Amino acid sequence: MSLYATVVTAMWVMLPAYVPNNAAVLAGGGAPIDGGRTLNGKRVLGDGKTYRGTLFGVLAGFAVAAALDVLQLDATGLLGVSVPWFPFEAMVALPAGAMLGDILASFVKRRTGRERGASFPLLDQLDFVVVALALTALVDPAWFGRYFTLDVLLAILVLTPLLHLATNGIAYQLGLKDEPW
């Protein structure tokens, strides 16, 4: 695959996992998932992980995957790259895995003494990617193997932190997010 095709495939296939974090920021507020409970004196997850944000994030990622499926044939012609078509399993696993990864990262942050909103370089930028990929590989290994080739995985690992920092920086500038990470 050319570098162009690799990058286009990587971004297309990851969009349903990229959108949930940003959608959750817009929908945040409401009851925290941990119900305010603590573990060794620290919140289990913290007020930054809510039912509303999680549900909205997963639904937004699902909707994006569905929309991309509608555009798939046109995009393939327009971009000159045979972009992936998302099966139902991937439409759920990519956004649900992304939200789960973000939640697990907050668990790790609280256990390591970081307050809500504190940054944890690399974990912040890759938590959602790792779990989104793992869950997708679990529910549809054949589809995963077809599109997540080694070059695509490498492009995802390099481009995701940059994209994540850029979108969060924009959300911070717009006043939607409290911190730029």
Residues 6+ apart with CB under 8 A from 67: none
* d(C-alpha 41, C-alpha 58), whole Å: 30
To the nearest whole angstrom, how small is the minimum distance from the Cβ of residue 37 to ligand CTP? 14
Report if residue 49 touches ligand CTP, rule: CB under 6 A: yes
Q: Which is nearer to K ion, 34 or 102 (CB)?
A: 102
Closer to K ion by CB, 102 or 140: give it.
102
Q: Residue 117 and residue 135: Cα distance in Å, rounded?
A: 26
Which residues contribute to the site for K ion (CB under 5 A)?
102
Which of the choices ligand CTP, K ion, none does residue 164 contact, using the CB cut-off of 5 to 8 A by kind?
Answer: none
The DSSP symbol for 114 reads P
What does 14 bind: ligand CTP, K ion, none (CB cut-off 5 to 8 Å by kind)? none
Q: State whether residue 50 is helix, strand or coil.
A: strand
Sign of CA dihedral 17, 54, 135, 95: negative
Residues in binding contact with ligand CTP, number by CB under 6 A: 18
- In the complex, the residues that contact ligand CTP under the rule CB under 6 A are 24-25, 28, 46, 48-50, 53-54, 99, 102-103, 106, 109, 116-118, 177
